Structure 1
């Protein structure tokens, strides 16, 4: 017994990088799969597509708040969020591609490139996540979330496609800020994963870490869609 190796994170039920990677890939596969469903349905019936868009946006907001403030971690809620998010992303992407041909693959490539770039910058130390950095970025995210809700209401009431700023320089500036904020948020996700592994968080926590990473990636993708569509106009 004494000659056996020491118990590792897997043996003690602690979160590992493999756990996070596998959960992230699983949730991402759900988003892509149901995104394809949302795309096909929206292309066949734009009215149902609009319902998926609006319903998905509201449902992800509600589910996101429940997941964030629920005292116990719920895997079914996280999986359900990925399904609804996929339908929403598919419907939105189909609409943008119809209106501005070519923006979807461009936004997808930009999102992948930004993710890789931010990961490398974080790993080599170009971006250092400190307590102050986390506070500032978190406050900016909350501030932008409030602005996004107000902007959505303004766009619906005034029938303006992008809300404040429209497709002018102000609108493009807002989109650039949103893309930058979503990009920096990836560093927070990377840091949270590393800290969870270092502190020996429970293995089930990997679901929440994967969920947070997917949410940020989708947010970044949506902001790239809006940016490229504004620039196209």
Structure 2
């Protein structure tokens, strides 16, 4: 997946100053805003409270993110793990099924690829967080990964294991680099990345058509002399996409996004992880075929 409409939508809403009313103080009498988590006081002088009632109210703990329905990092982690589990389970099932019937690999591959791509745009540009579409997207990604992985592994033994290790190592490295400030995400870098990623998406779609027409011995444009370099560019883009995703999650949590956005954020993270894996799989297959 060469771009992430889900995170683009979150960044757009954050830039507009809030998430559907979250993070905005309600007007209070005399022009003062009540502190977050503070108890509501009587609206008029006719309503009186005893000293004990006042003391009980002040002794209450301040409302946290869970109480206010705001997003927490735990929410994002749990939804991401849930979606990753679905993708992994469907991937393994598809691998076993397609492995015994290699003739159906291509139809399953195309269904998962174009189906998940179409749903990613539907999810990203939808006005509501549609959990059903997000779960369906995870299933389609699993179909795609299972079919493409078993096919590549039969042609290039060991390439899947290498791609998996490289993906996990890159994920950890990008997170550490972003967390320590070595990898920075700015408004300018987001815009540049978005334009380059969109161009790469168009390139990949063109390459799919070229491969079906037999160009590059089935590799399409990647089958040329500099195919490995193009694949390396794809790895770089997918890697930076993870840094953008980490930054978007951080901004959403600190900005007080609604808890339901955890589904959208988890979906975006898994989509970027799948994109990175596919780029590594292609790169290592190209390098192995040239040996």
TM-score tier after normalising by the smaller chain length = over 0.9
Q: Which runs of 5+ in 1 are unaligned?
A: none
The one of 179, 188, 191 equivalent to 2:247 is 191
Matched, 1:138 2:194: yes
Bigger share in helix: 1
Displacement of 1:2 in angstroms is 1.1
RMSD across aligned positions (CA): 1.0
What per-residue deviation string (whole Å, max 9, x for no partner) do you get for residues 61-86 of structure 1?
Answer: 11111111111110010001001111
Displacement of 1:167 in angstroms is 5.9
Matched, 1:59 2:100: no
Residues 153-162 or 19-28, more deviating: 153-162
The one of 182, 204, 215 equivalent to 2:260 is 204
CA contact (8 A) 2:112 2:143 kept: yes
Counterparts of 1:99-178 in structure 2 under 5 Å? 99-159=155-215, 160-166=217-223, 168=225, 170-178=226-234
Q: CA 1:29–1:165 in 2, change beyond 3 Å: closer, same or farther?
A: closer
CA distance in 2, matches of 1:61, 1:133: 24
Q: Which structure 1 residue ranges, 4+ long, deviate > 3 Å from structure 2? A: none
Partner of 1:27: 83
Residues 196-205 or 63-72, more deviating: 63-72
CA contact (8 A) 2:222 2:231 kept: no
Counterparts of 1:23-102 in structure 2 under 5 Å? 23-102=79-158
The one of 265, 269, 279 equivalent to 1:213 is 269
CA distance in 2, matches of 1:224, 1:156: 21
The count of residues paired between Structure 1 and Structure 2 equals 232
What per-residue deviation string (whole Å, max 9, x for no partner) do you get for residues 144-199 of structure 1?
Answer: 0011101111111125322114163x000000000000000101100100000011
CA distance in 1, matches of 2:138, 2:232: 26
CA contact (8 A) 1:167 1:231 kept: no
CA distance in 1, matches of 2:193, 2:231: 17
CA distance in 1, matches of 2:64, 2:218: 53
Partner of 1:229: 285
Q: Secondary structure at the match of 1:15?
A: coil
Partner of 2:5: none
Displacement of 1:48 in angstroms is 2.0
Q: Which has the larger radius of gyration?
A: 2
CA distance in 1, matches of 2:205, 2:93: 26
The one of 57, 62, 69 equivalent to 1:13 is 69
CA distance in 2, matches of 1:16, 1:163: 44
Displacement of 1:47 in angstroms is 1.9
Could you tell me the TM-score, scaled by structure 1's length? Answer: 0.97
Could you tell me the TM-score, scaled by structure 2's length? Answer: 0.78
CA distance in 1, matches of 2:135, 2:83: 7
Q: Which runs of 5+ in 2 are unaligned?
A: 1-56
Displacement of 1:109 in angstroms is 0.1
